């Protein structure tokens, strides 16, 4: 059965359908960002909403999946920014996520701690001018136990899946929110994490405030 689901996953195409984005930008941001040179990208805060767990899936498994998904989205977003940087599209550089995570670990900050630690302190720990962070809330009814099981296995979710994602920028001096982009998507059969990240960045990058004119 496991081989069957993996085969289906590999064979089906990926698609994401989005709703119109909501964008916020602080009035002072155009002035504040002039001094920004290096940004760090945090692991995404991921929540998988579930009415109930299918047989064989525990709360601990879901927590681990959320954490893995969060670090995966961090890598995806960093990879996207790197590709754009190679085309000289931004006025800033991005800290290597391996360095970011190492510095967080050295400071004793876990994935769970990121939710309650101020952005000002995180900027100080990482030695950057601003922080890119985000969250993703994934809603998947648990009636289809097989779809959830394969989702935990390969990081993909079924056709009734909906995802609300947000990407934000906070500045270092006071930790204030400078920019926010909300994106809502629904996935076709077995939409992947990479498909979600790519859709988020493909859309948000059009309005990303550090993009060169």
pLDDT digits (tens, 9 = 90+) for 39-72: 999 999 988 777 676 677 787 888 888 899 899 9
Q: Does 16 score more than 60 pLDDT?
A: no
Banded pLDDT at 92 (limits 50, 70, 90):
very high
Q: Mean pLDDT throughout 21-29?
A: 92
Handedness of CA 92, 97, 99, 105 (dihedral sign): positive
Q: Mean pLDDT throughout 94-101?
A: 98
Q: Does 91 score more than 90 pLDDT?
A: yes
- Choose the most confident range, by mean pLDDT, from 21-25, 48-52, 174-178, 198-202: 174-178
> pLDDT at position 161, please?
61
Q: Could you tell me the domains of the chain?
A: 2-8+17-207 (3.40.50.10610)
* pTM summary value: 0.80
> pLDDT at position 7, please?
37
Mean confidence (pLDDT) of the chain = 80
Q: Does 96 score more than 60 pLDDT?
A: yes
> pLDDT at position 87, please?
93
Q: Does 164 score more than 60 pLDDT?
A: yes
Q: Does 26 score more than 70 pLDDT?
A: yes
């Amino acid at each position: 059965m496991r081989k069957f689901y993996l085969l289906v996953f590999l064979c089906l195409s990926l698609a994401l359908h989005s709703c119109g984005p909501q964008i916020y930008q602080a009035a002072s941001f155009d002035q504040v960002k002039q001094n920004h040179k290096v940004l760090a990208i945090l692991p995404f805060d991921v929540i998988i909403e579930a009415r109930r767990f299918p047989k064989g899936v525990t709360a601990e498994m879901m927590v681990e999946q959320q954490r893995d998904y969060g670090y995966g989205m961090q890598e995806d977003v960093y990879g996207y920014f790197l590709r754009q940087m190679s085309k000289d599209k931004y006025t800033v550089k991005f800290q290597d996520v391996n360095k970011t995570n190492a510095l967080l670990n050295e400071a004793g900050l876990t994935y769970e701690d990121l939710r309650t630690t101020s952005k000002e302190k995180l900027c100080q720990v990482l030695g950057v001018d601003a922080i890119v962070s985000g969250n993703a809330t994934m809603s998947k009814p648990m009636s289809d136990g097989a779809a959830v099981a394969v989702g935990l296995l390969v990081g993909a979710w079924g056709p009734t899946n909906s995802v609300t994602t947000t990407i934000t920028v906070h500045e270092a001096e006071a930790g204030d929110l400078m920019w926010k982009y909300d994106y809502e998507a629904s996935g076709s059969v077995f939409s992947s994490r990479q498909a979600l990240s790519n859709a988020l960045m493909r859309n948000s990058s059009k309005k990303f405030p550090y993009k060169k004119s």
